[in-house]
Structure 1
Amino acid sequence: MSIIVTIIVGFIVGLIARAIMPGDQKMGLIMTTLLGIVGSLVASYGGAAIGLYAQGTPAGWIASVVGAIIVLFIYGLVTKKS
């Protein structure tokens, strides 16, 4: 059951990140979900690495959205067509 919750949370976080990030991101629902999941993982492990969170605790919604925005920014740089 937790994988389904992870996918749903990742989708919601990805949608919020895309809404906050300026510009037009051309990606589908699957990429949005993956973006949210990766952003949440970045926030969790990044926060644990710098001592903001204990290992294994969820980072929270705000940190997950910030992580997803960072991943979205990097994704935009990588896929940008010159």
Structure 2
Amino acid sequence: MRELKEQPGKDIWLCGGGRLAGQLIGEIDRFLLKRQPVLFGNGIPLIAGGAYDPRLFTHVGTREFTSGVSFAEYERVAVA
């Protein structure tokens, strides 16, 4: 994944897949969180996989729609 990120081109987009996100957590630079005003009992976890490796992200912006859906964008905070 690191080699792929270093190549010229567009961003890499991972959509869904909490298990894959858990495996690649160290490579995630930015994420978009979709919230939809529907309650249900189970769902796909944002990050899955057991190992807890906290990462600090900052809120970049939020888009809200008349349907109640919102997209919140976050990017990784550079650690000095």
Taking structure 1 as the reference length, the TM-score comes to: 0.26
Indicate the structure with greater strand content: 2
Indicate the structure with greater helix content: 1
Taking structure 2 as the reference length, the TM-score comes to: 0.26
